Amino acid sequence: MSSAFELAYPESQPAMASSRGSLHPRLLKAPVVLHASGVTKSYRKGKVEVPVLNGVDIEVVEGEFQAIVGASGSGKSTLLHLLATLDQPDTGEIYFEENRIDNLPASSRDILRNRYIGMIFQFYHLLPELTALENVLMPVMIHHGIISYTLQRRKFRQRAKELLDLVGLSHRLKHRPREMSGGEMQRVAIARSLMANPRLLLADEPTGNLDRAAGEEIMEIIHELNSAYDVTIVMVTHDMSIAAQADRTVRLAEGKVESVSFQS
Amino acid sequence: MYKLLLSWRYLKSRYIALASIVSVTLGVATLIVVNSVMAGFSDEMHKRLHGILSDIVIRSHDLNGLPDPEWHVNEIKQIAGDDIEAMTAAIQIPAMINFRDNIQGQWITQPITLIGIDQQTYGEVSDFSKYLLHPENRRQLNFLLKENDYGRGKRDRFPVSGWARRRVSAEWEQQAVESQTNDLTTNVLEFDANDIPPSPFPLVDDSGVEGRGETVDGLVEGEVPGVPFQALDEPQLVFDPSTEQHTGIILGISICSLRGRDTNGEVMDYYFALPGDDVKITVPNSGQPPKAVSDSFTIVDFYESEMSEYDSSFAFVPLSKIQDLRGMVDVQSGTKSVSTIQLKLKAGADLNVVKQKLQARFPVQQFGYQIQTWRDMQGPLLAAVQLETTILNILLFLIIAVAGFGILATFFMIVVEKTRDVGILKSLGAPSGGVMSIFLGYGLSLGTVGSGVGLVLGLLFVEHINTIAGWIEKVTGQEVFDPTIYYFNQIPVIVNPVTCVWVVVGAIAIAVIASILPARKAAKLHPVEALRYE
C-alpha cells in the first residue's frame, strides 16, 4: 500500500480492496480517477428493504482496465450505476478526480455524465428514431444549444464520423438501430460514449447480449481504446474470460468486495 | 438541440400522433367555419336591420301622429344638429291591402303596415332605396310606374312588369268587356238604347266605378255619366289604365309573392301581382272614432330587404297621400302631422348619447314619444343571435377540449412507450427539464401542425362553402341551405382574423397543456428504472 494513496484519501479504510501492490507497473504511478468508499445501497420492494450493496470500496486509476465480476444479484450493475451517478448511494462517498460526486445536485451530475463519464450498456440503449450518426452526436447535442450546436455542426459531425470509423462503421452512418446487428449497435454505442471525450468509460456487460464472435470484436475495440487511446475503463461482466484480460478484477459477492485480483 | 430533433422524430414516426393532429385539425376547422358563418349571418342581419331602420326613430304613440313636424325637426337640429346627417318624417299606420291575384283571379286581402315616406329624404336615412327592384328607383326613388326592367341586377328572372304589363292587361280587360257587351247586344237584338228613358238618378259617385273616382273630373260636359252603354261607342274618357296610373305604392315583395319549389324542386317565385297592377288600400282615418277609408294605388315597385318580417308587411306610399287620405291636418295651423321622425347620424356619433339628448328634450310624460335606436328596436333578435354564437363557441371549444384529452391519453402512451429513451437521454446527461421540453415541444408541434392544417382547411371550406353545400345537396338530396327559408341565395360568411388567431392559439394552448402532465411524468422518471424498462 503506497503512502501517497493514504495521503490522497485519508478516509479510505485499510480493509479496502484496492491495493496497487500487484497492479501493472505502468499504472503504479497513475492518478486515481474514481474512488468509492463504504458505499451502501438498498432497494425497497414494498415494505421489505432489500440490501444490494453493503459497504463497497473501489478505486480506479487512470489508464486502467478494471473488471467487476460477480454472480447475478451481487450488485455489480447497481455499483456501476452509482459510479455513473445515475443513482445515489444510501451511505458512503464517491469521488471523481478528487471531487465528491455522489451528493452533487442533479444538474451537476447531468453535466458529469454528459461530458466526463461515458457509458455503454448490455442492451446498447440507442435511440431508435435516430440514425447511427445522430445517436453518436447525441451527447454534444445535449451539451450545446441550438445556436452553439449549429455553429459547430461541421466539427461535431466530423468527430462523430471519425469515431464511427474507429469502431468500423463508417458505412453505416445513416442507418437506424433496427437496421443493424447487435454488434454494430454496440459499436455505435461505444462511439457515442466517446463523443464527449470522457475521462472514464463505464461498461455494463457490453458483450452480454452478443454472440461470441461479435463479443470478441467488441472486446477488441475496448482493448484498443484502453491500450492505444488510454481510456480508463470499468467493465461489469460475468464472463470470466473477459475479466481475465483486465488489469484488475474486483469480485463482488452479496454486496461486498470479495476479492481483488490482478493480471499476472 | 436534441429536444427539437427528438420532438420532430417522434412526430414523424408515431402514427398515433396523427390521430391527435387530425382531432385538433377538425376542431379548429369546425370552429373557424362555424364562426365565419355565424359572423356572416349576424353581420347580414345587422346590415339589413340597420339598413331598413334608421339610426334613431322618434315615434308618436298616437296613430294620428305628432303635430307640426317642422317644429320638431328644428328642435332636434338645435340639440343634436352636429351629429345628424339626415332626417326624414314618415307615417306608419296599419292598413289592409286588397288586390286581385293574377294567377287565380281571386281577390286577396292582407293586413300590412303602410308607411308614408318623403321620396326625397327617406332614402337618405336608411338603405331603403337599395332594396327596390327597379334600377332607376335604386338611384332616385319616385312613385311613377316604369316601362319595364324590374328586377334587373337583383332578380333576373323577374316577369314582365311596369307599363309593358299594364298596357297588355288593360287591353285584355277591355277585350273581355267588349266580348261581354257583344254577347249582351246579340242576345237582345231588338233592344234599342234610345228607348231607355233617362235615369232619374244621375250617378255621380265619388268613389266611381271600381276606383276610378279620380277621373270623374275628366268627363266631358253634357254627358250623363253612369248611364248604361252610354260610353260604349265613344272613346274612353274616364281613367285609361293603359296610359294612366294611380298614386304609386311600393309593396314588400312577400305581400304579393310566394317562394316555393316547382315540380323539379327548383326554387320559384310566384307573383300574385306585379308592378303595373292596381291594388286597393284601406286605412283608418283620423276621425273619432276612426273610420275606414280606401283608395286605389298602382304598384310601382317591389321592396325586397330579404327580412321576411318586413318584406311581408311593409308598403310605401308618398307621405302627402296618407296625410290627405287620413285627414291628418291640424285645423288651426294647417300643418300636416307625421307619426315618426327618423334620424341618420354621422359616422362615429354615439347612438345612445343622441338618444338620451332627445329623451331629455322630449320627456315621455309631456310628449308621449317613443325614442329608440335601431338596436333597441331589434334588441331581442340581436341578443338571440349573440347568445347563439356564444353558446356554439362554447360547445365547439369543448370539442377541442375533447381533442385535448385525446392528446393527453396519446401522450401518456407515448411517454410509456418512450420510457427507455428517457432513461437513455438521462444517462447521457440530459437534464429533467430538457426531457420535459421534448414532450412539451412535441405537444406544441402537434398543436401547431394540427391547428395550422385546421386553419387552412377551415378557410378553404369557408371560401367554397356554397359549392360544398351544393355537393352535399346532390349527394344527400337534402337541402343544406334553403333559400325559401333564409331569403339568402348564398350562405353569408365573414372571416374574422382575430377569431382565427384566437382559435389557433387556443388549440395550441390546449395541446401544450395536455402534454404537460405526460411531460412531467417523463421528466420524473428515474434513469436506472427507465433503462431497465422493457
Is the preceding omega at residue B289 within 30 degrees of 0, hence cis? yes
| pLDDT tens sequence across B419-464 | 888 999 999 989 999 889 988 888 888 889 899 999 999 999 999 9
Q: Cα dist. B321→B57, B247, B362 in Å?
A: 22, 8, 28
Tell me, yes or no, whether B273 and B356 share the same domain: yes
Name the residue type at position A168: G
| pLDDT tens sequence across B335-382 | 888 888 888 888 777 888 888 888 888 888 888 888 888 888 877 877
User: Considering only CA atoms, which of B199, B194, B309, B297 is closest in space to residue B252?
Assistant: B309
Percent of residues in chain B assigned helix, strand, coil, to nearest 5: 50, 15, 30
Tell me, yes or no, whether B39 and B90 share the same domain: no
- For residue B204, the SS3 value is coil
Question: How many Cα atoms are found within 13 Å in the side-chain-facing hemisphere of B234?
Answer: 13
As a whole number, mean pLDDT of residues B92-109 equals: 85
Q: Tell me whether residues B434 and A145 touch, CB distance under 8 A.
A: no
Look at residue B20 and tell me if it is in a domain.
yes
User: What residue spans of A144-211 are helical by DSSP H?
Assistant: 146-151, 153-166, 182-195
Predicted local distance difference test score (pLDDT) of residue A188: 93
User: How deeply is B53 buried, as exposed, middle or buried, from its count of CB atoms within 10 A (0-12, 13-18, 19+)?
Assistant: buried
Choose between B218 and B138: higher pLDDT: B138
The answer to whether residues B249 and B274 touch, using CB atoms and an 8 Å cutoff, is no
ipTM: 0.88
At B86, which helix (H) or strand (E)? Answer: strand B84-100
**Residues of B with CB below 8 A from A87's CB?**
526-528
Look at residue B177 and tell me if it is in a domain.
no
Tell me, yes or no, whether B402 and B488 share the same domain: yes
As a whole number, mean pLDDT of residues B60-81 equals: 82
Q: Percent of chain B, pLDDT > 90?
A: 10
Mean model confidence pLDDT for chain A: 86
Look at residue B372 and tell me if it is in a domain.
yes
| Beta-bridge mates of residue A69 | A251
Predicted local distance difference test score (pLDDT) of residue A95: 92
| pLDDT tens sequence across B244-256 | 888 899 999 888 8
As a whole number, mean pLDDT of residues B23-36 equals: 88
Q: Is the pLDDT score of A157 beyond 60?
A: yes
Look at residue B116 and tell me if it is in a domain.
yes
| Beta-bridge mates of residue A79 | none
pLDDT band at B3 (very low <50, low <70, confident <90, very high): confident
Q: Tell me whether residues B427 and A134 touch, CB distance under 8 A.
A: no
Choose between B68 and B184: higher pLDDT: B68
**Residues of B with CB below 8 A from A142's CB?**
1-2, 425, 428-430, 434
Range of the domain at B197: 191-239
As a whole number, mean pLDDT of residues A102-109 equals: 90
Q: Is the pLDDT score of B488 beyond 70?
A: no
Look at residue B176 and tell me if it is in a domain.
no
Q: Is the pLDDT score of B159 beyond 80?
A: yes
Q: Is the pLDDT score of B208 beyond 50?
A: no
**Residues of A with CB below 8 A from B436's CB?**
none
Least confidently predicted of A61-65, B287-291, B478-482: B478-482
Predicted local distance difference test score (pLDDT) of residue B349: 79
Neighbouring CB atoms inside 10 A of A191's CB total 27
Tell me, yes or no, whether B281 and B360 share the same domain: yes
Q: Is the pLDDT score of B330 beyond 80?
A: no
The set of long-range contacts for B352-358, using a CB threshold of 8 Å and a minimum separation of 24, is: B353/B83, B354/B55, B354/B56, B354/B80, B354/B83, B354/B84, B355/B56, B357/B79, B357/B80, B358/B56, B358/B58, B358/B76, B358/B79, B358/B80
The set of cell numbers assigned to B163 is: 307599363
Tell me, yes or no, whether B38 and B111 share the same domain: no
As a whole number, mean pLDDT of residues B501-524 equals: 89
The distance of B445 to chain A (nearest Cα, Å) reads 17
Tell me, yes or no, whether B357 and B442 share the same domain: no
The set of cell numbers assigned to A114 is: 454528459
**Residues of A with CB below 8 A from B434's CB?**
142
CA distance B327 to B290: 11
Q: Is A179 on the interface with B (CB under 8 A)?
A: no
Least confidently predicted of B14-23, B123-132, B192-201, B330-339: B192-201
At B282, which helix (H) or strand (E)? Answer: strand B278-284
Cα-Cα-Cα-Cα torsion B184, B188, B194, B195, nearest 10 degrees, comes to -130
Look at residue B181 and tell me if it is in a domain.
no
Report CA torsion sign: B431, B436, B439, B442. negative
Least confidently predicted of A146-150, A180-184, B240-244: B240-244
Predicted local distance difference test score (pLDDT) of residue B529: 85
CA distance B10 to B23: 18
Interface of B with A (CB under 8 A): 1-2, 4-6, 9-10, 12-13, 420-421, 423-432, 434, 526-528, 531
User: Considering only CA atoms, which of A175, A45, A188, A71 is closest in space to residue B424?
Assistant: A188
pLDDT band at B485 (very low <50, low <70, confident <90, very high): low
Predicted local distance difference test score (pLDDT) of residue B483: 63
Q: Is the pLDDT score of A8 beyond 80?
A: no
Q: Is the pLDDT score of A10 beyond 70?
A: no
Q: Is the pLDDT score of B242 beyond 50?
A: yes
Domain end position, chosen among B336, B351, B377: B377
Tell me, yes or no, whether B60 and B149 share the same domain: yes
Tell me, yes or no, whether B503 and B412 share the same domain: yes
Tell me, yes or no, whether B481 and B431 share the same domain: yes
- For residue B59, the SS3 value is strand
As a whole number, mean pLDDT of residues A124-152 equals: 91
Q: What is the pTM of this model?
A: 0.66
Look at residue B173 and tell me if it is in a domain.
no
Maximum CA extent, chain B:
131
CA A167 to chain centre: 17
Least confidently predicted of B47-51, B295-299, B481-485: B481-485
Tell me, yes or no, whether B108 and B249 share the same domain: yes
**Residues of B with CB below 8 A from A112's CB?**
429
Q: Is the pLDDT score of A11 beyond 60?
A: no
Least confidently predicted of A20-24, B68-72, B304-308, B384-388: A20-24
Domain count for chain B: 3
Q: Tell me whether residues A142 and B423 touch, CB distance under 8 A.
A: no
Q: Is the pLDDT score of B207 beyond 50?
A: no
Domain end position, chosen among B354, B377, B400: B377
The set of long-range contacts for B521-525, using a CB threshold of 8 Å and a minimum separation of 24, is: B521/B412, B521/B415, B522/B415, B522/B418, B522/B419, B522/B422, B522/B435, B522/B436, B522/B438, B522/B439, B523/B432, B523/B433, B523/B435, B523/B436, B524/B432, B525/B419, B525/B422, B525/B423, B525/B426, B525/B435
Neighbouring CB atoms inside 10 A of B356's CB total 12
Q: Cα dist. B51→A199, B81, B278, B491 in Å?
A: 82, 22, 28, 19
Look at residue B180 and tell me if it is in a domain.
no
Tell me, yes or no, whether B439 and B416 share the same domain: yes
As a whole number, mean pLDDT of residues B190-206 equals: 49
- Give the pairing type, strands A200-204 and A117-120: parallel
Name the residue type at position B338: V
CA A186 to chain centre: 14
Q: Is the pLDDT score of B196 beyond 60?
A: no
Name the residue type at position B176: A
Q: Is the pLDDT score of B471 beyond 50?
A: yes
Q: Is A221 on the interface with B (CB under 8 A)?
A: no
| Beta-bridge mates of residue B412 | none
Domain end position, chosen among B346, B377, B408: B377
CA distance A62 to A230: 8
**Residues of B with CB below 8 A from A84's CB?**
427
Question: A residues 53-92 near B, CB within 8 Å?
Answer: 81, 84, 86-87
pLDDT band at B267 (very low <50, low <70, confident <90, very high): confident
pLDDT band at B217 (very low <50, low <70, confident <90, very high): very low
Residue A202: closest C-alpha in chain B: B427
Report CA torsion sign: A102, A104, A110, A112. negative
Q: Is the pLDDT score of A145 beyond 90?
A: no
Tell me, yes or no, whether B257 and B126 share the same domain: yes
Predicted local distance difference test score (pLDDT) of residue A208: 86
The set of cell numbers assigned to A250 is: 474486483
CA distance B406 to B399: 11
pLDDT band at B188 (very low <50, low <70, confident <90, very high): low
A44 conformational bin, left if phi > 0, alpha if psi -120 to 50, beta if neither: beta
